[in-house]
Amino acid sequence: MSRRFAAPLAAVDSVDSAAGTRIEAVKRIVSDDPYLVGHYPDFTIYPGVFTIESVHQAVRQWAAERHGPGTSVELTTITSVSFAAPLLPGDTMSIGCDVTDLDAPSTVRVKARCHRADGVLAGRMTLELRIHREDGHDDA
């Protein structure tokens, strides 16, 4: 059996993409989320890979709203990523993404900044993602 993704993890709680190429999302870091167990023992933090996944899920929801249900978004390139401060249980992460169409067919560049509720920058990244529509057309 082959799956494109593992069991879904809720890496965003809400997404607002009404501003066209600007995406705003929120993720509450909850202590009993399964991916926090053991990361790290005695100092539980939200894993960096899930910060990337939070941005990815926000872009997937934006793409579905823009292109319709069945649209998929494939992460193709992590151009840059940096984590500046830990996200701890009880924190709320705000994600701001700016989306730019690239010359490559169906590819967008996303520049994201992730902040804790106290305003501290938790991470920033630049990703490239390919958008696949359900009707077989790739379109960014």
- Measured from the Cβ of residue 69, the count of other Cβ atoms closer than 10 Å reads 7
Whether residue 67 lies in the annotated active site = no
Q: Which of 39, 56, 115, 132 is catalytic?
A: 39
CA distance 26 to 15: 7
Closest residue by Cα to residue 116 from 137, 136, 139, 86: 86
Say if residues 9 and 50 touch (Cβ distance below 8 Å). Answer: yes
Catalytically annotated residues: 39
